[in-house]
Amino acid sequence: MEPIYTLKDIEVTLSKKFTLQVPQLALGKGQIHVVTGPNGAGKSTLLNCLALLRKPQVGSVQFAGHPVNGKTRQLLDLRRKITLVEQSPYLLQGTIQSNLAFGLKLRAISKEEQQQRITDALNRVGLKGFSIRSVKDLSGGEIQRVALARALVLRPEVLLLDEPTANIDADSMASFENLLLSLPATGMTIILSTHDQAQVLRLGGNLIVIENGLVQEKKAVPEP
């Protein structure tokens, strides 16, 4: 099967002291890929590169076998297939319903389908009945789950998650991880960063290790 991403000889320079380097990386479609490494290693930079939000100064990126050429129309089309949930996601003022509906309206999804997708997504992240809640009343963990639901309603081909469980309490961790594990069965590719080595083992999938900006290896995570 054609990889969803192929990166070759990538360099993303952020400062005189830091450059992300990816000699070669192929990420399989419909799988979980876990990016790990210490703080400042380059995990977020890699995710932004995969989200096509940061263009490498050197090297090539292919998405589903097609070169990413940087043309505006192509980038807009490809970005609609990819959703990035950041570690500290920004929610719009208003209700959870309005936040989840925002991207669907931009895609001209009918109101009936919007409601169905929103209901399904909130159920999946454990927030059934939360649609009329104001975002200002949410806890840190609830904000993270709303951000994930907002991503799920768009049904992206690739879901990128930057430290998605950093603000989730221990009681919610298992259900959140089970949700992530269920998504590849829908055909979605999951790429997430974490510094939690125990979580790496629980999620399995393919492991991408970054140290000092260098992607050092990619291998299957051993069974716990």
Q: How confident is the model at residue 30 (pLDDT cuts 50, 70, 90)?
A: very high
| Residue pLDDT, tens place only, 54-63 | 999 999 999 9
User: CA-CA distance, 151 to 85, in Å (whole number)?
Assistant: 7
Place 223 in a pLDDT band, splitting at 50, 70 and 90. Answer: low
> What is the distance in angstroms between the CA of the first residue and the CA of the last residue of the chain?
27
Is there a contact between 42 and 195 (Cβ–Cβ < 8 Å)?
A: no
Q: Is the pLDDT of residue 116 over 60?
A: yes
Most distant CA pair in the chain: distance in Å? 51
Bridge partners, 185 (sequence order): none
Say how far apart CA 118 and CA 152 lie, in whole Å: 9
